[in-house]
Structure 1
Amino acid sequence: MQHALIRCFAGAAALVFVGATPIIAQTPDVHYVPTPQDVVDRMLELTGPKPGDYLIDLGSGDGRIPVTAAKRFGINAHGVDIDPVRITEAEANAQRAGVQDKVKFIRANLFETEIGKADIVTLYLLETLNAKLRPRLLNELRPGTRVVSHTFSMGDWTADKHEKVGGRDVYFWIVPARVEGAWRLQNGERAVELQLKQTYQNVTATATVDGQPLPIEAVSLRGAELSFRIAGQDYRGKVEGNALVPSGGGDWRAERI
């Protein structure tokens, strides 16, 4: 009997030869190692679950993260795993915890499952899988969505927070809005031209009026909230598509140009 294994991300295709007959099956790309409960608790605490939030756990294993989220914080959640054994185990754990009405588990490839409705995404994968997943997190999740990973970082997307829990790494990010480009800020009769440059949640800016530079400082992007100070005046707004709408008071508005 010969055996051959073809690997692919998050649900490897196993081509097993029984005699001369090939049989194709799905097997996990990541060996299952459960996250310790104290790490689960801190991962969820970092995301600050609130009523109405929805959590998606990619590579959910025995379901302990979605189950804890539902039982401790009362939010709805689902887990995604390619291993049917893990799905069965997770469903049994949800039943035992009495949260089967708030939690479901889906057998699927995590790179193909829909994630756009998540308010919180939890991960315990590998560095290479996080890097492969990163574009989907940035492009498909809404600005402000919270992402937390056990052990593994996200390459050059620096975490907003990084903690040690029982000697284990926990990384936390907030998905940033896309703000790079030219904006026009109208404050009364004064029109300020802004040029923003962005690397993930890190933003630098210049400001001019009629071609003359103005001092701009304290530029900060947190999810969809963008704030800065121009010539001593503070601005704080929420990015809504191509508009920046005041969220801290003030009769001003900015539009992408």
Structure 2
Amino acid sequence: MTLSSRRLSCLVPRPSLSRLLAALSLGVAGLSVPLHASAQATQASAQEEPFEPQLGRHGKDVMWLPTPDALAERLMRMAGLGPQDVFVDLGAGDGRVSIAAARDFQAQALGVEFDPKMVAVSQRNAQEAGVADRTRFIEGDIFKADFSQANIVFMYLLPQLNLRLRPTLLAMAPGTRLITHQFHMGRWEPDETTLIAHRPGYLWIVPANAGGQWALSYQLGAGHGQATLDLSQTFQKLKGTVAMGELQTTLRQPRLTGDRIAFAFTDPQGHLREFTGVVTADRIRGTVTGPEDSTSFTAKRVGAAPPVGGSEPPSQEELDAAAASLGSE
């Protein structure tokens, strides 16, 4: 006999006790039907309600924590986003950044998201925002998805994931703008850094491949200037020399921004020659300015283009350092 039954036996005569326990059993059994029915109704109601993501929802590689609207807008302005651009958000979450790109900047926007429930949320949000015709959300793995058509890429990923994506990003068309919230890309230094409410954001511009040897030709008064240009490149950073006959000199402040190149050197006559041009696969064409006037120049690639320094996959050491940096960011 249980403790409750012993207590009841002290208060209730034994013949009445059996009748009381039977009555209690009937009462509990009678309650079980409406409670079960209520649980079924609650479950059915929950199934009918649309899925609403919660902060910190875990995905394949990261948890969902959205970028603040003010920082997302600032990054899009840094990237020069406009109606002519194709914008992609890698790890799109609820789609808010892609939706803002389409709504506020009239860009075509693509969101890549591994979680099918979040893809459905993004599609619903885009419909409600009136930009379903300018946005597309796909379920996919950011390391396998084809986003090569984009010229602006947004990411809020862990630094080691940024590093794994780095070779793919560096191989995109020169001039492609990459913007990230919070996390860097290791040895690839950003072209611009911003800060809003203590939250950092970064911009990179994918450089052309300008490394290697070039045969440089430009107008020099009534004649022509001829030189051999030798450039080495790591990410967007350049250094190099120019040889004119037996004379060799270093370049002054060589710069590469997308496919735009600039450099200067002192010619054999002691004149500073400043060059600005556009890099294509095997040509650099632009303008050279000297003490007399400005004229055109051409440089033709000699031999094959070497790989851009930094375009190889990150080392394990760099990946480990990126993971360790999480504690300080």
Asked if TM exceeds 0.5, the reply is yes
Structure 1: state its 5+ residue gaps: 1-26
Match of 1:50 in 2: 82
Larger helix share, 1 or 2: 2
Match of 1:130 in 2: 162
**Distance in 2 (alpha carbons) for counterparts of 1:127 and 1:218:** 30
1:70-219 counterparts in 2 under 5 A? 70-139=102-171, 141-188=172-219, 189-214=224-249, 216-219=251-254
Please state whether the residue corresponding to 2:148 is helix, strand or coil.
Answer: coil
The two structures have a TM-score, normalised by structure 2, of 0.68
**Distance in 2 (alpha carbons) for counterparts of 1:103 and 1:236:** 37
Quote how far apart the aligned CAs of 1:211 are: 3.0
Q: Which whole-Å deviations, capped at 9, do the CAs of 1:19-56 have from their partners, x for residues lacking one?
A: xxxxxxxx522111111111111111111113311011
**Distance in 1 (alpha carbons) for counterparts of 2:175 and 2:151:** 8
Quote how far apart the aligned CAs of 1:215 are: 5.2
Of 44-53 and 169-178, the range deviating more from structure 2: 44-53
**Distance in 2 (alpha carbons) for counterparts of 1:247 and 1:166:** 42
Is 1:240 matched with 2:280? yes
**Distance in 1 (alpha carbons) for counterparts of 2:178 and 2:145:** 16
**Distance in 1 (alpha carbons) for counterparts of 2:76 and 2:298:** 35
Quote how far apart the aligned CAs of 1:167 are: 1.1
**Distance in 2 (alpha carbons) for counterparts of 1:153 and 1:250:** 40
**Distance in 1 (alpha carbons) for counterparts of 2:236 and 2:85:** 22
Runs of 4+ in structure 1 off by over 4 angstroms are none
Select which of 298, 321, 327 maps to 1:253: 298
Q: State the structure with more CA Rg.
A: 2
Q: Identity over aligned residues, as a percent?
A: 35
- The number of residue pairs the alignment matches comes to 231
When the two chains are superposed, the root-mean-square deviation of aligned CA atoms in Å is 1.6
Of 77-86 and 187-196, the range deviating more from structure 2: 187-196
**Distance in 2 (alpha carbons) for counterparts of 1:209 and 1:247:** 19
Please state whether the residue corresponding to 1:251 is helix, strand or coil.
Answer: strand
Q: Which whole-Å deviations, capped at 9, do the CAs of 1:63-110 have from their partners, x for residues lacking one?
A: 111100111111101000000111011111111111100001010000
**Distance in 2 (alpha carbons) for counterparts of 1:247 and 1:138:** 27
Match of 2:92 in 1: 60
**Distance in 1 (alpha carbons) for counterparts of 2:284 and 2:101:** 33
Asked if the contact 1:238–1:247 (Cα under 8 Å) also holds between the matched residues in 2, the reply is no
The two structures have a TM-score, normalised by structure 1, of 0.86
1:19-58 counterparts in 2 under 5 A? 28-58=60-90
Structure 2: state its 5+ residue gaps: 1-58, 267-271, 289-293, 303-329
Asked if the contact 1:161–1:173 (Cα under 8 Å) also holds between the matched residues in 2, the reply is yes
Which amino acid in 2 is paired with 1:149? T
Of 97-106 and 181-190, the range deviating more from structure 2: 181-190
Larger strand share, 1 or 2: 1
